[in-house]
Chains A and B, each alone.
Chain A
Amino acid sequence: MRAVSVEEAVAMIPHGASIMVGGFMGVGTPERLLDEVVRQNKTDLEVISNDAAVPGKGVGKLFDATLVSRLTATHIGLNPKAQQQMLAKQVAIDLVPQGTFVERIRAGGCGLGGVLTPTGVGTLVAEGKRQIEVAGTTFLLETALRAKFALVHAFLADYLGNLTYALTARNFNPIMAMAADTVIVTAEHIVPVGVIAPDHVVTPAPLVDYLITNG
């Protein structure tokens, strides 16, 4: 793990990059990283995030600045700008059931090719997907999801990069921290090694590539 400024971290992200962004309706989203993505005007981003949040918050900021070319998400209903950009075909949107979304990312981070889920069988979600029967039940084969970058928000990060999360801000963060080539983390508090007890570490330090410094 290397501690870097937010400017330095975002400078590593090229235009057109695929980025996973933690958070659920903007809760547990690394806002400082997204603000800097907007400031550096990184365009044509392929974003993987649970939702489009709302304008002015979380991933919503990327839609405000029209930086997104593709979004893989489970729900965009609370962001009218994301809906408008989808209807105007400025943004390609893949809608995925939430349980499938997280399992595809988990698979991507755990070296699996995909998962078999009953969710979506017999619906529009099944179109174009392989169906596999196991012990009399039909499942959809849902393939793994990975990205070049994961932008993760933690509650505590120690000097080595061990992470914990708080309350409902955990959501997709620890799963995404395993499913990208480069993992960049912001934390509410940076604390000395040992403050987070081994039993309480959720994301182990070796998974974290860059920790954004304070200030």
Chain B
Amino acid sequence: MDAQAIIARRVAQELRSGDLVNLGIGIPTLVANYVPAGLKVFFQSENGLIGTGPIPEQGMAHPLLTDAGGRPISALPGASTFDSAMSFGLIRGGHVDVTVLGGLQVDAHGHLANWMIPGKMVPGMGGAMDLVSGAKRVIVAMQHAAKGKSKIVAKCTLPLTSARPVNLVVTDMAVIAFADGTATLVETAPGVSVGEVVAVTEADLIIPNAVPEMQI
């Protein structure tokens, strides 16, 4: 299984029936592919839709029905559409149960940086700051390291997305939970040892006596 599939499958296990869920672009988008059959989850697209469905079949796309990246999507039975004030009222107002976002860095306290690299990449924060500020639960789905450097750092060197810490980070190597300013190793990916995770993680991790392997 490739790294992205490991991450997306594991994140999907965090979703509960009835959850209103917002997925960011990149790896988070893949989570929708792994929702267990029978689990009724509502996916929100922040451009104004609850009930996003799969990419339409060839020739069935509607130019006025897209995801937040402008790509054609479909709407499931029971879907609803609304304006951007409502969409961000849902997000900031604590009505979104889970948001899954990509990350550039997460630090030992759970602070996320994911919206700019000064001098290099300034795309804008879009909805990320509101999502981290307002969603009930924030999950970061990202690779554990980039170009050999840990993305789970002692302290973020990139500009923060929010002062509010995230709840969980799922990577291709581990699941790490954040609470009370600490980071705890919760699970390791299949075939990855605790020692290997620690070796490639810059932040200090609390290691429980038993760290189970992801069941994916």
Distance in Å from the Cβ of A151 to the closest Cβ of chain B? 16
Is B68 at the interface (CB under 8 A from chain A)?
yes
* Among B65, B70, B128, residue most surrounded by chain A Cβ atoms (within 10 Å): B70
A76–B62 alpha-carbon span in the complex (Å): 24
Which one of A117, A172, A173 contacts B92 once the chains associate, using CB atoms below 8 Å?
A117
Cα distance A175–B124 when bound, in Å?
21
Q: Is the CB of B62 within 8 A of A167?
A: yes
B12 CB within 8 Å of chain A: no
Check if B105 is an interface residue, CB within 8 A of chain A: no
Per-residue CB contact flags for chain B residues 135-162 toward chain A (1 = under 8 Å, else 0) read 0000000000000000000000001111
Task: Give which listed residue, B64, B124, B163, contacts A167 with CB less than 8 A.
Answer: B64
Q: Which of B55-88 contact A (CB under 8 A)?
A: 62-66, 68-70, 75, 81-85, 87-88
Cβ of B48 under 8 Å from chain A: yes
The count of residues in chain B whose C-beta lies closer than 8 Å to any C-beta of chain A is: 40
Interface residues in B102-145 (C-beta closer than 8 Å to A): 121-130, 133-134
Asked if B91 is at the interface (CB within 8 A of a chain A CB), the reply is yes
B82 with A98: CB separation less than 8 A? no
Contacts of B85 in A (CB 8 A): 102-103, 106, 175
Contacting residue for B127 out of A74, A83, A175, CB 8 A: A74
Given A75-B124, A175-B85, A170 contacting B163 (CB threshold 8 A): no
Least CB distance from A20 to B in Å reads 12
- Report if A98-B64 is in contact (Cβ < 8 Å); known contacts: A119-B130, A167-B75: no
Identify the closest chain B residue to A100 (Cβ): B130
User: For residue B52, which residue of chain A has the nearest CB?
Assistant: A168
**Contacting pair A118 B134 (CB below 8 A):** yes
Is the Cβ of B161 less than 8 Å from the Cβ of A123? Answer: yes
Contacts of B84 in A (CB 8 A): 24, 50, 98, 102, 171-172, 175
Q: Across the interface, do A168 and B92 meet the contact criterion of CB distance under 8 Å?
A: no
Closest to A155 in B: B64
Q: Is A26 an interface residue, CB under 8 A from the partner?
A: yes
Knowing A27-B47, A106-B85, the reply to whether A123 touches B124 (Cβ < 8 A) is no
Q: Does A28 contact B (CB under 8 A)?
A: yes
Asked whether B171 is an interface residue with its Cβ less than 8 Å from the other chain, the reply is no
- Contact residues in B for A77 (Cβ distance below 8 Å): 121, 123-124, 126
B100 to chain A, nearest CB (A): 17
Q: In this assembly, does B188 line the interface, its C-beta being within 8 Å of a C-beta of chain A?
A: no
Question: Which residues does chain B contribute within 8 Å of A98, judged by CB atoms?
Answer: 46, 84, 88, 125-127, 130
* B-side contacts of A166, CB under 8 Å: 64
Q: Does B20 contact A (CB under 8 A)?
A: no
Closest chain-B Cβ to A90's Cβ sits at a distance in Å of: 15
Contacts of B66 in A (CB 8 A): 24-25, 27, 168
> A99 to B91, Cβ gap below 8 A?
yes
- A175 to B63 CA separation, bound complex (whole angstroms): 21
Query: Could you say which residues of chain A place their CB within 8 Å of the CB of B129?
Result: 97, 99-100, 119-120, 123, 125
The answer to whether A118 and B92 have CB atoms under 8 Å apart is: yes
- Assess A168 versus B49: contact at CB under 8 Å? Given A24-B68, A24-B70, A103-B88: yes
Name 13 extra pairs, CB < 8 A, besides A168-B81, A170-B82.
Answer: A24-B84, A27-B47, A27-B70, A73-B124, A74-B127, A77-B121, A98-B125, A98-B126, A102-B84, A117-B92, A123-B160, A123-B162, A167-B75
Mark B residues whose CB is within 8 Å of A: 45-49, 62-66, 68-70, 75, 81-85, 87-88, 91-92, 121-130, 133-134, 159-163
